[in-house]
Amino acid sequence: MSAIALFNSAFTLEEEIRTQLAEATGFEVIEDEDLINEAVSQFSLDRDKVERCLYGPSSVFNRFTLERESVAACLKLVMAQYLSGDRRIFSGLLTHLIPSSAAQVLKVGVIDEKSSRIHRAVEEGLSEKNAEKLIKKKDAMVGDWLSFLLKKTTNDPGLYDIFFPLGNKGAPEVVQLILENYRRPPVLITEQTKQAVTDMALAAAVEKSLLDRGYTNEVQCSEDNITLLVNKSVHNFSRLAESLTAIAGNVPGVRGVKVAAGKDYRVSVYRDQEFSLPPKVLLVDDEQEFVRTLSDRLNTRSYGSFPVFDGEQAMDLLSRDTPDVMVLDLKMPGMQGGEVLKKTKEAKPEVEVIILTGHGTEEDKQQCLEQGAYAYLQKPVDISQLMAIIDEAYRKKAQAKVASD
């Protein structure tokens, strides 16, 4: 005996199938919530941040912070710990973390046509409009996660050992089908499958160690030997290989490290540097050419900046993401900068706001500072001066967080 991994698209009798399968096998059910709880506990993660990485759209700052990749690495480590056990049913989105090499796990995918799923949702009490909206949202979330994690789609049969549409089947029929496949041929724990789980955990540990230093290399592991693939432009490959080998080689359990060129490798300019999380800077200004240029200049100086072009866009982004610093223009079409400042401080007071405007008055300045703006600057501003103010604001926020922990 070993394990079953069950993934259902939304409204395909998820709970009924999971419950009846557990009753028929006597297996322990491990859901996404269990894995998330363990990861939050083990790695001192922010729960909201983990759930946002899984279920929400990726942060606009993720390419600077590598937050989603780091969360995925932690979850892989937790999944490997659970896979070392026996007689378990894994259920949910995180079943896609289980590698195909873990052959002791029967991976099952249950999907169905959208119209049938809407019909079931309506039977559960949703209006047809809300059902369609919810299914679209859940499908988009799953698709985004699979694209990020595996560059595959939900309906890719290669993700599963058994893959079928629910159709008119009831939960008992689905459970019977799963059990028939589970027993024939038998899914067994062997030395090879144990090694596959060990390799999964070791690859995740190396991946996390590399991410902590800002490296996003593809990590492969076979019998405790690590292969790191370079899928980026580099100038000094040997220097990069030395750095990667040193980091991966320090992870307990690694027997050997090989660095190889991946399919997207090409020779170019490479600037090696120690990685640290950059300030996440949201730029809000209706002068699109100006703000795009400013964003590019900040990004080349190791700031994680992202531009939006009006107050409404800023507040929409703020509803799902939290920058460290906001650089805000006062005079914009629609929602004015003063209102953005006020709403930002009400919703997320930890965000430090720097006013950068070419049209403000002394009265505007006084009002903004009274409403909580960190600084008030006039255009044009020297980039070095702006960077210094951003650094000061970022330090203030970091110190406040440390004090509150």
3-state secondary structure of 370: helix
Q: What is the identity of the amino acid at 128?
A: E
Average pLDDT over residues 255-263: 92
Contacts of 187 (CB under 8 A, 6+ apart): 1, 2, 3, 103, 104, 105, 106
Does domain 280-404 sit in CATH 3.40.50.2300?
Answer: yes
Class of domain 214-276: alpha beta
Contact 107, 158 (CB under 8 A): no
Closest-CA residue to 62 (of 211, 243, 264):
211
- Polymer length of the chain: 405
In the predicted model, is pLDDT for residue 312 greater than 70?
Answer: yes
**Helix, strand, coil % (nearest 5) of the chain?**
50, 15, 30
Q: Which of 182-191, 192-201, 233-242 has the lowest mean pLDDT?
A: 182-191
CATH superfamily of 3-183: P-loop containing nucleotide triphosphate hydrolases (3.40.50.300)
Query: Which of 122-126, 258-262, 268-272, 313-317 is predicted least confidently?
Result: 268-272
State the average pLDDT over residues 232-261.
90
Per-residue pLDDT, 101: 87
Q: Is the pLDDT of residue 275 over 60?
A: no
User: What residues form DSSP beta bridges with 30?
Assistant: 90
pLDDT (average), residues 278-290:
94
Q: Given pLDDT bands bounded at 50, 70 and 90, which one contains residue 231?
A: confident
Q: Rounded to whole angstroms, how far apart are CA atoms 49 and 68? A: 9
* Mean pLDDT of the chain, nearest integer: 91
Separation CA 323–CA 339 (nearest Å): 18
More confident residue, 236 or 326: 326
Q: What is the pLDDT of residue 278?
A: 81
**What is the DSSP-derived secondary structure letter of residue 273?**
-
Question: Do 321 and 348 form a contact (C-beta atoms < 8 A)?
Answer: no
- Locate CATH 3.40.50.300 in the chain: 3-183
pLDDT digits (tens, 9 = 90+) for 327-372: 999 999 999 999 999 999 999 999 999 999 988 889 999 999 999 9
Residue environment code for 73-97, b if the CB has 16+ CB neighbours within 10 A, otherwise e: bbbbbbbbebbeeeebbbbbbbbbb
Mean pLDDT across the stretch 158-186?
A: 89
Q: Which of 67, 249, 236, 93 is nearest to 159 (CA)?
A: 93
Cβ(325)–Cβ(393) below 8 Å: yes
Residue 234 predicted with pLDDT over 80: no
- Interatomic CA distance for residues 166 and 12, integer angstroms: 7
CATH 3.30.1340 residue ranges for the chain: 214-276
- What's phi and psi for 225, nearest 5 deg? -100, 130
Report the pLDDT value the prediction gives residue 178, as an integer from 0 to 100.
Answer: 94
DSSP run (H or E) holding 404: helix 383-404
- Residue given tokens 């993401």 in the structure block: 321
Q: Could you tell me which residues come within 8 angstroms of residue 353 by beta carbon, excluding any fewer than 6 positions away?
A: 325, 326, 328, 341, 344, 345, 372, 373, 374
Give residue 302's pLDDT: 81
The structure tokens 């994690």 sit at 149
Report whether pLDDT(266) > 70: no
**Does residue 264 have a pLDDT over 80?**
no
Whether pLDDT at 276 is above 70:
no
Mean pLDDT of 310-316: 96
Alpha helices per DSSP H over 44-127: 47-55, 62-65, 67-83, 114-123
Please state the rounded mean pLDDT for residues 254-276.
Answer: 69
Cβ atoms 394, 376 nearer than 8 A: no
3-state secondary structure of 222: strand
Query: How far apart are the C-alpha atoms of 210 and 375, rounded to whole Å?
Result: 36
Q: 99: which residues sit within 8 A by CB, 6+ positions away? A: 196, 200
What tens digit of pLDDT does each residue of 45-91 get?
Answer: 999 889 999 988 788 999 888 999 999 999 999 999 999 888 999 99
Domain span(s) for CATH 3.40.50.2300 in the chain: 280-404
Mean pLDDT of 13-37: 97
Phi/psi for 177 (5° steps) reads -65, -40
What's the rounded mean pLDDT across residues 280-305?
93
pLDDT in tens, 199-227: 999 999 999 999 998 898 999 999 999 99
At CA 52, angle to CA 297 and CA 321, rounded to 5? 40
**pTM confidence score:** 0.84
Kindly give the residue spans of alpha helices, DSSP state H, lying in 155-310.
Answer: 171-183, 191-212, 237-249, 288-300
User: Quick check: bond before 185 cis, omega within 30?
Assistant: yes
Per-residue confidence (pLDDT) for residue 270, from 0 to 100: 36
Q: Look at the alpha carbons of 202, 208, 213, 219 in this order and tell me if their dihedral is positive or negative.
A: positive
Spatial distance between the Cα atoms of 131 and 256, rounded to a whole number of angstroms: 51
Task: Please tell me the predicted confidence (pLDDT) of residue 272.
Answer: 44
Looking at residue 117, what is its pLDDT? 96
Reported confidence tier of residue 268, pLDDT bands at 50, 70, 90: very low
Q: Read off the amino acid at residue 222.
A: S
Supply the pLDDT for residue 273: 45
